[in-house]
Amino acid sequence: MVTISDVATRAGVGAGTVSRVLNGSPRVSEATRTKVLTTIEELGYRPNPLAQGLSRGRCQTLGVVVPFFTHASAVERLRGVSAALDGSRYDLVLFDVEHPVHRDEFLATLTRRDRADGLIIMSMPPPPADLQRILDGGVPVVLIDAVGDGVPVVRTDDVEGGRLATRHLVALGHQRIAFIGDAPDNPLGFVSSTERERGYREVLEAAGLGVDGQLVRHGSHDREVAHRLTNELLDSIDRPTAVFAASDVQALGVIEAARARGLDVPVDLSVIGFDDIELAVYAGLTTVRQPLAESGALGARLLLEALRGEAAPAADVHELPLELVERSTTAPWTRP
Amino acid sequence: MVTISDVATRAGVGAGTVSRVLNGSPRVSEATRTKVLTTIEELGYRPNPLAQGLSRGRCQTLGVVVPFFTHASAVERLRGVSAALDGSRYDLVLFDVEHPVHRDEFLATLTRRDRADGLIIMSMPPPPADLQRILDGGVPVVLIDAVGDGVPVVRTDDVEGGRLATRHLVALGHQRIAFIGDAPDNPLGFVSSTERERGYREVLEAAGLGVDGQLVRHGSHDREVAHRLTNELLDSIDRPTAVFAASDVQALGVIEAARARGLDVPVDLSVIGFDDIELAVYAGLTTVRQPLAESGALGARLLLEALRGEAAPAADVHELPLELVERSTTAPWTRP
DNA sequence: TTGAAAGCGTTACCAC
DNA sequence: GTGGTAACGCTTTCAA
């Protein structure tokens, strides 16, 4: 394994000079620079990232704490992060949270620049104390799809998204509109679904339709669970004519359940989702689109910026736009 | 930031002793062990991974080189890897390859234990010279869904998979069976699709149906491209009655195209995919199932094993089973 | 069983 | 401009 001093010896210079060349210091003569550069080439030398990290006090690594495969949307966001990191000198370390203990473990150990130089936390609001400890450790944090104090946040207005979806259904003449989403007290603390539900409730109240508790169902973020919840809804006497699902994944479960019992979507049941994941296009799903990949990319850019400036990033809230995408799973309600 | 010598001083011992306690050396008296342990607790000390890595010559990190979001199947595999790493002391570093330059760059720089202690390479057969260089650097490699010499391989028999799918269609009475898959000369060197195509060709020849070059179409691994290719197929006078798509993602594009022109799947056109991704269940897609998450998990376990033994892992080929899953996109061909 | 000290490969400061 | 030399925080001999 060839080290910096091998290069230095061979080139007839000091290790410091090689380091300066490596790091583009202007205080190197053109002659030595080229000599060092050719020697590096000859020896096939590459700096040891570990040693650089130890010496510099940082490790050229960005951590992403993410409920990885729980949400299809997380994957799309991750793609955005990855794309934004391309060309930067940062490696992407994945901290996959499938369970609250993972999150707590990560949050407890990622408090220093030796594990990750910066952190993106997705969809899980970190406990304020943990967040503060991380920031105190000099690790900048960006939150995506979650809110927290003192750090940049990339988010969408989920309440408004809930309104958009519900208004669409109301405008189509639906009066019995159900909601299927995550439980408000879900273990990882996701709040998006609950906020969308709030928008749903607001619009129903405003439209004078009121909220029927029987039409609001909660379960884990999962196609099959949504399928089951839909069966419950459709079993009732006074069943809904439309369902607003808090995510596309759940909406697909709703459609599946409806079709399984011979109902036509959208004739017998309108379904609207949220996210506009890749699959929504295929399924012809009407949904509220949020720019998932873009949210990841923006989060990564904010983090890189903070890292570049070595300053704490501005704790701005970056709100990404939502947009209703009408496809073919919603239709006007024609009274029986 | 509290270091090992802070702990040592406070506990009234040498740094070496603290290190021994940390690493579970038996050569520590019970008394000092507990004293050190409590001091660590008091100070909230955590070892610096960078320093450990530099000293030990490894970094407690596993790299996964993956054509990340090009294939839905990669995400499922990644989930398996992540799950298998849970509880191990390794961090997961993602090397997302969206372009051949990425792959070459990673393969060139991952040759030492300072970037990753071990490597999983997915779906992309590494150039033998690159692979050898990595192994020479003491970095164990496991290949998933790709083959290579001298390293453990986790794979499926894609030729047989192609046979399974095609035999199913032949058994249903189809005679004009199309194939849609990746181009054999695709930039990242994926071969699975080409092998599945080989199985397809074999079965058609064996059945005396012959292979009509017009019915074989290649394009990038993408729903929309498959959609377009399907349109080409369906525009022809003597159009196919069934399509074997080399992946579920592509199969969904086929179905989309067929339905867009008013064809009924499976009555007018049977479609079979490959992989059995999560979405296939929703879409009711008949497909050849391969255990994706399990492949990732197995690959990770093999790598951990190799790392544990500090020996080069046995260059075994682990072949995972394939299974035909009949759902509702294939049906018998009833002659017009 | 333990402490002291020599690395591990870089960076960065300080003289020259 | 450049070389020498402390760090950086840990592991691991080597003696004792």
Give the model confidence (pLDDT) of B20-62 as tens digits.
Answer: 999 999 989 999 999 999 999 999 999 999 999 999 999 999 9
Helices (H), chain B: 4-11, 15-22, 30-43, 49-56, 72-85, 100-109, 128-136, 158-171, 192-206, 223-235, 248-260, 278-283, 292-309
Helix, strand, coil shares of chain A, percent, nearest 5, are 45, 15, 40
The pLDDT value given to residue A247: 97
Model confidence at A145, in pLDDT bands (50, 70, 90)? very high
The pLDDT value given to residue B69: 76
Closest CA to B290 of B334, B246, B252: B246
B128-166: burial string, b at 16+ Cβ within 10 Å, e else? eebbbbbbeebbbbbbbbbebeebbbbbbbbbbbbbbbb
CB atoms within 10 A of CB B326: 10
Q: What is the percentage of chain B residues whose pLDDT exceeds 90? A: 93
Work out the minimum CA distance from B229 to partner chain A, whole angstroms: 16
CA of A102, C1' of C6: distance in angstroms: 38
In the sheet where A216-218 sits, what is the strand order? A216-218, A177-181, A242-245, A270-275, A286-289, A323-325
Q: What is the mean pLDDT of chain A?
A: 95
Please indicate whether, in this complex, the C-beta atoms of A59 and B50 are within 8 angstroms of each other: yes
Please indicate whether, in this complex, the C-beta atoms of A50 and B48 are within 8 angstroms of each other: no
CA of A159, C1' of C9: distance in angstroms: 52
What secondary structure letter does DSSP report for B215? G
Residues with Cβ within 8 Å of A217's Cβ and at least 6 positions away in sequence, in order, are A178, A179, A180, A181, A229, A232, A233
| Closest residue, chain A, to B137 (C-alpha) | A1
- Tokens coding B124: 């992309």
- Tokens coding A19: 């380091």
φ/ψ of residue A100, rounded to 5 = -50, -35
Of A58-67, B209-218, B261-270, B311-320, give the lowest mean pLDDT range. Answer: B311-320
Tokens 């000092």, residue located:
B32
The string of DSSP letters for A197-265 reads HHHHHHHHHHTT----GGGEEE--S-HHHHHHHHHHHHHSTT--SEEEESSHHHHHHHHHHHHHTT--T
The SS3 of residue A289 is strand
Residues facing residue A141 across a β-bridge: A119
CA of B188, C1' of C9: distance in angstroms: 34
Model confidence at A90, in pLDDT bands (50, 70, 90)? very high
* Amino acid letter for position B163: R
The pLDDT value given to residue A310: 64
Q: Is the pLDDT of residue B303 over 70?
A: yes
Closest CA to A283 of B280, B234, B12: B280
The SS3 of residue B251 is helix
Q: What is the percentage of chain A residues whose pLDDT exceeds 90? A: 93
CA distance B44 to B24: 18
* A94-130 confidence digits (pLDDT tens): 999 999 999 999 999 999 999 999 999 999 999 999 9
CA distance B118 to B127: 17
CA distance A124 to A146: 6
The nucleotide minimizing the C1' distance to residue A53's CA is C10
Work out the minimum CA distance from A282 to partner chain B, whole angstroms: 7
Q: Is the pLDDT of residue B122 over 70?
A: yes
The pLDDT value given to residue A311: 66
The pLDDT value given to residue A69: 79
**In chain A, how long is the greatest CA-to-CA distance?**
91
The pLDDT value given to residue A283: 92
* A170-203 confidence digits (pLDDT tens): 999 999 999 999 999 999 999 999 999 999 999 9
Strand D: positions under 7 A of a protein C-beta atom: 1-5, 7-13
Beta strand pairing call for A216-218 and A177-181: parallel
The SS3 of residue B62 is strand
* B203-250 confidence digits (pLDDT tens): 999 999 999 999 999 999 999 999 999 999 999 999 999 999 999 999
Angle between helices A248-260 and A223-235 (to 10 degrees): 50
Angle at A35 between CA A32 and CA A38, to 5 degrees: 150
Q: Taking chain B, what is the end-to-end CA distance rounded to the nearest angstrom?
A: 79
Tell me, yes or no, if A120 comes closer than 8 A to chain B by beta carbon: no
Q: Is the pLDDT of residue B328 over 90?
A: yes
Residues with Cβ within 8 Å of B183's Cβ and at least 6 positions away in sequence, in order, are B218, B219, B220
Please indicate whether, in this complex, the C-beta atoms of A93 and B94 are within 8 angstroms of each other: yes
Tell me, yes or no, if B327 comes closer than 8 A to chain A by beta carbon: no
Angle between helices B72-85 and B248-260 (to 10 degrees): 150
The pLDDT value given to residue B310: 64
The pLDDT value given to residue B335: 72
CA distance B23 to A99: 27
B223 contact residues in A (CB cutoff 8 A): 278, 281-282
Please indicate whether, in this complex, the C-beta atoms of A54 and B49 are within 8 angstroms of each other: no
Q: Is the pLDDT of residue B311 over 80?
A: no
Closest CA to B47 of A325, B55, B31: B55
The pLDDT value given to residue A141: 96
Q: Is the pLDDT of residue A79 over 80?
A: yes
**Contact in structure between B174 and B241 (CB atoms under 8 Å):** yes
Helix (H) or strand (E) holding A35: helix A30-43
Residues facing residue A273 across a β-bridge: A287
Work out the minimum CA distance from B248 to partner chain A, whole angstroms: 12
Model confidence at A279, in pLDDT bands (50, 70, 90)? confident
Q: What is the mean predicted confidence (pLDDT) over B275-293?
A: 95
